[in-house]
Amino acid sequence: MLVYKVFGFPESATEVLHTARNLLSKLSTQAAMRALTSAAVREWVFKADLPIFEAGRGLKHYRECIREDHEGALLLRTLDLAALSKCVKSKEFREEFIPQRAESLAIQLSNTLAPFFLEGDSPLFDWDGFSTWGEGLEEWKDRRCRFVAIFTQALMTKADLCLNIKDYELLSYVPGTKFDKTTMTVETMEGLSNDTANYEGREVLLCVNPAFYLHPRDELSKDATVANAIIPTVNFISKGQDNSRPFIQPLLEAVVILSEND
């Protein structure tokens, strides 16, 4: 559930919906929407598997045969990367799979967020199940277009990142985390930033966008297994925010909103 990720609730927590509504009521609509949408992109796209091509029986045998060649795992990785690249850049993948998947995720997100943003008592839906939240026609159609655009870009990025021999991490700081200028950028509820202010000692109220970390992979040995040699499409790892990382500085800093000083 997205609110678990945004607010750092333990997954065994009860009455999450009521608690989340209280917390969201203290935020601007813009900040809450950005944080929940960011969590959806992180969990449903980047940390999820991307079925660029299904490992059917023929593909499985092809990989095993190459693995048994004298070049072994190195040849398998090279050819697997070439095949994956061809699939990712294909018209079918870019113009059919990505748009269809983005539409599906946009519907899923709208329906997931409906309990928090619904205007009125009864949820209303478009013909394909997209929750309109009781908004006017232009409003919910515009929101739908924005959701689709967000997921389209995320899916494209995820697919392109699969072509790199690296792992990645999106780290969202839970509320109460001390501000760290090496990993965080501060914004207001309205999305404005002030790089000159002193935020030392302040705590995170909400992580709007996660920090983006790079994790190099170990060098591939010639006797590696098929599973280790092929290019994984699950290439985002999860670590606790207190765990060490190869690089202290993230590629992209987290965007956070801080609690007010007491």
Could you tell me the pTM of the whole model?
A: 0.85
Number of domains in the chain: 1
Q: How far apart are CA 173 and CA 171, in angstroms?
A: 6
Residue 113 resides in a domain: no
Q: Which of 33-42, 49-58, 222-231 has the lowest mean pLDDT?
A: 49-58
Residue 13's domain spans which residues? 2-52+166-258
User: Could you give the C-alpha distances from 195 to 119, 188, 192, in angstroms and in order?
Assistant: 36, 12, 10
Residue-level pLDDT at 58: 42
Distance of CA 94 to the CA centre of its chain: 19
Q: How far apart are CA 209 and CA 206, in angstroms?
A: 9
pLDDT digits 0-9 by tens, 99-123: 999 999 999 999 998 888 876 666 6
Q: Do the beta carbons of residue 186 and residue 193 sit within 8 Å? A: yes
Residue 203 resides in a domain: yes
Residue 236 resides in a domain: yes
Percent of the chain with pLDDT over 70: 85
Q: How far apart are CA 42 and CA 36, in angstroms?
A: 10
Tell me which of 194 and 10 has the higher pLDDT: 194
Closest CA to 236 of 211, 202, 255, 262: 211
Residue 101 resides in a domain: no
For residue 101, give the amino acid letter. Answer: R
Residue 30 resides in a domain: yes
